[in-house]
Chain A
């Protein structure tokens, strides 16, 4: 109880509130700008939060991401351009609604169900995380090893269309994580006598490169065929939302549940949650033929799902230190920087902090409604900011942000290298997210692997002897087998065709 009161005190501090408000506006802006993603918003925020206390730092990230995921819906409906990938699943549906003269209703549904979905997601986060953490207190290196394996495998299995390239990305990330001092014996690896490399690869600088700089590179190419955008007029967005709620509350509940679950799976975030829920809404609908003609049902379900996924992703991040998506991967880095190792012990050592995160989450989803309304109303002005100004400005932020992470040019070099690499990978269908997860989890995975190997003296069976470890291990191996089977089947089919 004490911790909850402390948490309230921590969050409702004027300075913290100001930070939350500021990051809410920042998140709204980034989310509403087509081409700038929520992950990019987080990566750019980290250098700013670097010097803050833990509560405002986490509050800023929580608020900015929640806002960005909602704000992506606005240009999707108005211009058929999803502001973030999480809105892509129902951008066409929203745009068709707008064409039918239901733009107001669509935006109202988006803002209300984003907020409600987010709150339901937080509810599950609050309900599940502490009890899971209690269970996780008994975990040994074997469980953590398999948990990390399972998480990384899920990232490859769910998050990508091409598992082979997903694995390439993951293994590259894990290999990059090996650079620096090895966690078990303390020997320098792949450092070539360089002092900067001894400190390891700073993964925030890598992330700024892979998520922001690569996006800028893509943006620079399309800059020259930017047309004029016409933003339609918006009336009273809240009219009719109550009716939608009464009619489609089942979709809201199902979407939020699915969103939280998918968010909690490592490697799958808000965008996949939206795709899955949209497809689910269509399958279970009584009027599936209306989908794709500007029908509100799918928008309700997917709009709730992507915001609940934002909260769901925090469950494995806080409890096991395994990120649920690329945003929480950044969060884990921030937690480490603040000297709080994510994992079950955070719940006993810093409970006030966990509660502060929960409170901020609820708060962020509550202020989403008025701020979202304001964002919808001022969309004309936001979209008037030309990308010719925006792109160079973001590049400058990237440079300064990467510099601030290492206080040396090493950060900028990393950012540039991984920006180009990230761009090249995306061009060739190799997803970037598994690499980032691998980079973040590499040290933990290796440490638990080495500890387990040394404990069991190399006996592989020991990895399956404890019941939970055995279950997790079996699950991981099963997914690997499934993937192999799927790969073999497509290879056979191709051979048969040739």
Chain B
């Protein structure tokens, strides 16, 4: 997804001004001129400068012709690659939403299996790999390194 520099610049201007506006709430200390707001404000100033330069550059590129505001790569319009792309963040989102309820083992297994199959792997290979990988990761992180992976459904067995 390529966007014109002017759009990038506008987003930066928006971000930087929000940042500077938020610093107005920061506490000041009497007798001390340089408080917690100084550094973020300097950074905000720098971002605004960059944003303005980008806007100028983007507009110049538009004037010279070409350069759409937003340009999507051709694969966005093919169902295969586009869904594969979206599948990655979607997997993470599903994990975030369901991890505490279902627990790591069932959820990771299901997600791995779903991704393998979507990417075109045969079931005969996807099933054992998903199972083995889930158990290995769980053994290593939960058993060896004591990471409190969510237990969920298997709470009574683990």
Residues of A contacting B140 in the complex (Cβ-Cβ under 8 angstroms): 48
Residues of B contacting A415 in the complex (Cβ-Cβ under 8 angstroms): 92
Q: In the complex, A58→B67 CA distance in Å?
A: 46
In chain A, positions 35-62 with a C-beta closer than 8 Å to chain B are 47-48, 50-51
Q: In the complex, A428→B47 CA distance in Å?
A: 17
Residues of chain A whose beta carbon lies under 8 Å from any beta carbon of chain B: 47-48, 50-51, 164, 167-168, 171-172, 174-175, 178, 182, 184-185, 187, 189-190, 213, 216-217, 220-224, 386, 388-389, 391-393, 395-397, 399-400, 403-404, 407, 409, 412-413, 415-416, 419-420, 424, 427-428, 430, 446, 449-450, 453-454, 457-458, 494, 498
Residues of A contacting B22 in the complex (Cβ-Cβ under 8 angstroms): 190
Most buried by A among B36, B50, B53: B36
Q: A399-B95, A409-B99, A494-B60 are in contact. Are A224 and B88 (CB under 8 A)?
A: no
Could you list some 18 contacts between A and B, CB below 8 A?
A47-B141, A51-B146, A175-B19, A178-B40, A182-B39, A185-B32, A190-B22, A213-B88, A223-B81, A223-B84, A388-B120, A392-B119, A396-B134, A409-B96, A412-B96, A450-B34, A453-B34, A498-B64
Residues of B contacting A449 in the complex (Cβ-Cβ under 8 angstroms): 39
Report yes or no: B95 in contact with A412, Cβ–Cβ below 8 A.
yes
Min distance, Cβ B52 to any Cβ of chain A, angstroms: 11
Report yes or no: A392 in contact with B89, Cβ–Cβ below 8 A.
no
- What 3 A-B pairs have minimum CB-CB distances, sorted nearest first? A392-B115, A388-B119, A182-B36
Nearest residue in A to B113 (C-beta to C-beta)? Answer: A392
Residues of chain B whose beta carbon lies under 8 Å from any beta carbon of chain A: 1-3, 8, 12, 19, 22-23, 26-27, 29, 32-36, 38-40, 43-44, 46-47, 50, 53-54, 57, 60, 63-64, 75, 80-81, 84-85, 87-89, 91-93, 95-96, 99, 108, 111-112, 115-116, 119-121, 125, 129, 133-134, 137, 140-141, 145-149
Report yes or no: A185 in contact with B137, Cβ–Cβ below 8 A.
no
Report yes or no: B89 in contact with A458, Cβ–Cβ below 8 A.
no
The answer, among B12, B137, B141, for a CB contact under 8 Å with A168, is B12
Report yes or no: B92 in contact with A189, Cβ–Cβ below 8 A.
no
Min distance, Cβ B155 to any Cβ of chain A, angstroms: 18
Nearest residue in A to B22 (C-beta to C-beta)? Answer: A190
Q: In the complex, A174→B39 CA distance in Å?
A: 10
